Structure 1
Amino acid sequence: MLQLNFKGSFVLMFMFSAMAILTSCTGKQGTVATTENPKQDSNKPTEKEKARTTENSKTKEKTILFFGTSLTAGYGLQINEAYPALIQEKIKEAKLHYKVINAGLSGETTAAGNTRIDWLLKQPIDILVLELGANDGLRGIPLSDTRNNLQQITDKVRKKYPEVKIVLAGMQIPPSMGAKYANEFKSLFPELARKNDMILVPFLLQGVGGVLKLNQKDGIHPTAAGQKILAKNVWEKLKPIL
């Protein structure tokens, strides 16, 4: 769980077909023999079977893994109120064939995530939404460590699934660790996104951080209404790549 101790009314929130071408072969018609050998063609798929196979390849369900902190886990809320579940609803409404897996964990740091990702990669994934780093920032962990851990997570995912698309949730922290640290922390995410050709959500908590009515009593975790805005922030970047 995120913990934040600083004064002020502003509280930043943290934590993140190709369609198969149906071809039909037409046999050459001779001037003498016009019948086909039933034994020879008995194992050939019919046109309906070909069409069914094509349709199945188009509608095969793919997987989106949401990997993050308590923000992704939906701390203090029902799992169906967390933004990954809300995005699953949007996917269903759009009639897209993707399954969402919520792998958010309260208190997760990039170092812990770098270890946990190995187990999660045992299942195939097509898209990764990476939301880690906020807990590092709140603890004042050296930025070089955070950067290296996020890079290693990215490398592991791409090595296992080279075609995976990655969406990186940008984070910000208050200046309690110093303005220099806060500014460099904010810059870390777009830098990683550019380096690794990832889609960037500039700030996951845009429109929620610092808005009291959109946060729970701890002033840190979004309410159900706040999670809807998180879902909107992510969906704007995620939808174009589905």
Structure 2
Amino acid sequence: MASAPQASLPVFYKDLMPLNSRDHASWKSRTTDKAPWLAGFHAVPLTVEEFPSAARNFPIIFSSGENPVPLALMGLNEGVNVFVDGEGKLLENIYIPAYVRRYPFLLARLNPQAEELSLCFDPTSDLVGEYDEGNALFDGDQASESTKGLLGFCEQFEQAGMKTQAFVEELTKHKLLMDGEVAIQQDGIEQPFVYRGFQMIDQEKLRDVRGDVLRSWNQNGLLPLIYAHLFSLELIREIFGRQVQQGKGPVQAPVGAA
């Protein structure tokens, strides 16, 4: 169902270029109500700070593999997103993950030896360029207020990412993640549709966690995150129903993830 991205560039990004006042002095960034880069993706990375909001709309799962990543599940099959139409327009007023809102910008090291992260962008995006309208990226040779805001958002995202990594490390430390499987029986079809290729928290092992550990998780806010994930899994069947309604599947079982 979902696996951690393996490409050299993050999901959505086709290229990366560092933003600088020499080459981009007259460039502007534009806002949009469409996200065509999202339409072909069925799962989007989440930070733990987003769990409470995201869990209202999406199942929260963990990618398969050795380094799990929390994901907002927006479709059950590769290339299927039930919340975005073919033009990239969101079909309803839903929570938009920060990973989506950050695009086409992000913080990255310009080389492996660099200690500091630099603000970069995807030059293939039409949200940044030499346009007549939009928010100026520079005021002379200094970053504009708009760019400072973008930088601040990307910095907050990086900080949230570190908290997310610590959360996942705590789950793996206590061996709470297990391979997930969901079987959905559709009327008129003999065999159920089975979805695999993701991880979820093992509720049996969660019940056996020592009391002092649970108290610590409750005090530092980890326990509510765990239950946000578990409660959100009920939405998988809603995603299935949306796919059927939209004519986007489902694919006959068993289905593994790429």
Normalized against structure 1, the TM-score is what?
A: 0.24
Bigger helix fraction = 1
Bigger strand fraction = 2
Greater Rg by CA:
1
Normalized against structure 2, the TM-score is what?
A: 0.23
